[in-house]
Homo-oligomer: A and B are copies of this chain.
Amino acid sequence: MLNYDKQADWSNGFGEHQSPISIRTDSVKCLKAPLDYHVLNDYRLHQEIDDGTTVRLTGEGTADIFGRQFNFVQVHFHAPSEHVINGKHSPLEIHLVHQNAIGQLVVVALLVSLGEKQNPQLQQIIDHFNQAKTTTIDLNIRDWAPWYPVGAHYLGSLTTPPLTEGVEWLVISNPEFTVTKAQVDWFQTHFGEDNRATQPVNGRTVELYK
């Protein structure tokens, strides 16, 4: 029984719904539909920031995500990927961070593969990078969102401190662009491996849209 006279002693016991996670596609609930994610207004990047751990770019844009409108607020990168699908990391994971009017967060994660073709916007971000500086930029990344996104939908957390929970994740496994090894190497040269270890699922529902 709770003691309402000793509320200060209540442990908040967080940490059961953390991100990233490892996803086995044969053991999660499967839905025959794309992830309900639609860019409404172009994602335009305005500022590029060296935060010491990765490159973070802030900007603007809007999207409809599972029936609600969110603002796109920033994008950043992890190499190798933080989320793991069927035991495999992708070389790069791009986090498109969205927020709504009351502050709810949705992160759209793009698990990007290596290919012969470099991604031109990512190359602009690399070329424009200025160590320990924040600089202005003007870049449209709308076409990073796939027209038929498939992947996982689950409830987790930020993957860097404060590790806040209640963050909704769309982990997209079919980006329509590739990056080159040179592009991924650039991130690892500058920041090392900056992926958080996968966290226990602890009975959460993970839905697979495909």
Contact = CB atoms under 8 A, between A and B. Distances in A.
Interface residues of A, number: 43
A207 interface: yes
A150 B204 CA distance: 32
Interface string A150-167: 000111000011111111
A102 B161 contact: no
Contact of A166 (B11, B13, B155): B155
A60 interface: no
**Most chain B CB within a 10 A radius of its CB, from A4, A13, A163:** A4
Given A52-B1, A53-B2, A13 B162 contact: yes
B67 A102 contact: no
A42 interface: no
A205 to B, nearest CB: 5
Contacts of A160: 2, 10
Interface string A1-39: 110100100111111110000000000000000000000
Contact of A4 (B166, B193, B205): B193
Contact of A7 (B53, B103, B196, B206): B196
Nearest to A15: B12
Nearest to A14: B14
Interface of A: 1-2, 4, 7, 10-17, 52-53, 66-68, 101-104, 153-155, 160-168, 192-197, 204-207
Given A13-B163, A14-B163, 13 more contacts: A1-B52, A4-B194, A7-B196, A7-B197, A10-B160, A12-B161, A12-B162, A17-B103, A101-B207, A102-B207, A104-B155, A164-B165, A166-B166
